[in-house]
A and B are shown apart, each in its own frame.
Chain A
Amino acid sequence: DIQMTQSPSSLSASVGDRVTITCRASQSVSAYLNWYQQKPGKAPNLLIHAVSSLQSGVPSNFSGSGSASGTDFTLTISSLQPEDSAIYLCQQTYSTPFTFGPGTKVDIK
């Protein structure tokens, strides 16, 4: 199975800050990398699919990128808003089982 790791596990930032979350795959997942946002007690919400495609309705201050190796990926929130307080998870859909990262908890200072 492909293992997904994320860093940091948690962070605290101020409104307006630029926030970067990293996701690393144990082997190349090509461009089959998605990002989700999950708030307490709620189902996850798709933010980005295929590394950098912004899901319809998701604010444009979210963006995704990846390395040519297909193992390192980044989710960036360009200007953190209060409603962005949540857990952010990556998922690879290159090879089943389609594994998720453990999540990064983002808090607002």
Chain B
Amino acid sequence: QVQLVQSGAEMKKPGASVKVSCKASGYMFTKYGITWVRQAPGQGLEWMGWITPHNGDIDYAKKFRGRVTMTADKPTSTVSMELIDLRSDDTAVYFCTRGQWYLDYWGQGTLVTVSS
């Protein structure tokens, strides 16, 4: 069955960086893109961008360009999302999801807390 398993919760100080990983299984990794979406506490969903593992194509939301890097490792079927220069308003649950035009499978979410 399709599964996306994310790395564990992180606590970071302002200005630090965080890297969240997402290991895919149960399907052909290179056939689908991976989209990252985040959700601040009590807030709505925010689209961050996507990566296509097949060829490494990337599209980041303008809001995050310069701070976010998404990478895909085909041998391990793992996608990672690194966010640098963290601020308190980056505190959120970060989800990896399968797909680009619609998101049919989701990881369990990774809580990233940014606090001094």
Q: Which residues of A contact B (CB under 8 A)?
A: 32, 34, 36, 43-46, 49-50, 55, 89, 91, 93, 96-103
If A96-B61, A99-B47 touch, does A43 touch B108 (CB 8 Å cutoff)? Answer: yes
Contact residues in B for A49 (Cβ distance below 8 Å) = 101-102, 104
Tell yes or no: B14 within 8 A of A by CB: no
The main secondary structure of chain A at its interface with chain B is loop
Contact between chains at B95 and A43 (CB < 8 Å):
yes
**Chain A residues with CB under 8 A of B45:** 44, 89, 91, 100
5 A-B residue pairs with CB within 8 Å: A34-B102, A46-B104, A55-B104, A93-B101, A96-B61
How many A-B contacts at CB < 8 Å in the complex? 51
* B residues 94-116 in Cβ contact with A at 8 Å: 95, 97, 100-104, 106-109
Minimal beta-carbon separation of B100 from chain A (angstroms): 7
Contact (A44, B44) CB under 8 Å given A96-B59, A96-B61, A97-B61:
no
B56-68, CB under 8 A of A: which get 1 and which 0? 0001011100000
Interface of chain B residues 45 through 93 with chain A (CB within 8 A): 45-47, 59, 61-63
Chain B residues with CB under 8 Å of A103's CB are 44
B61 to chain A, nearest CB (A): 4
B47 touches A98 (CB 8 A): yes
Which of B63, B103, B106, B107 makes the CB contact (< 8 A) with A97?
Answer: B63
Rounded to whole Å, the gap between the CB of A79 and the closest CB of chain B is 25
CA distance A4 to B100 in the complex (A): 18
> Please, which residue of chain B has its CB at the minimum distance from the CB of A87?
B44
Q: Do A32 and B101 have beta carbons less than 8 Å apart?
A: yes
Residue of A nearest to B96 (CB): A43
Given A89-B45, A97-B47, A100-B45, does the pair A43, B107 have CB atoms closer than 8 Å?
yes
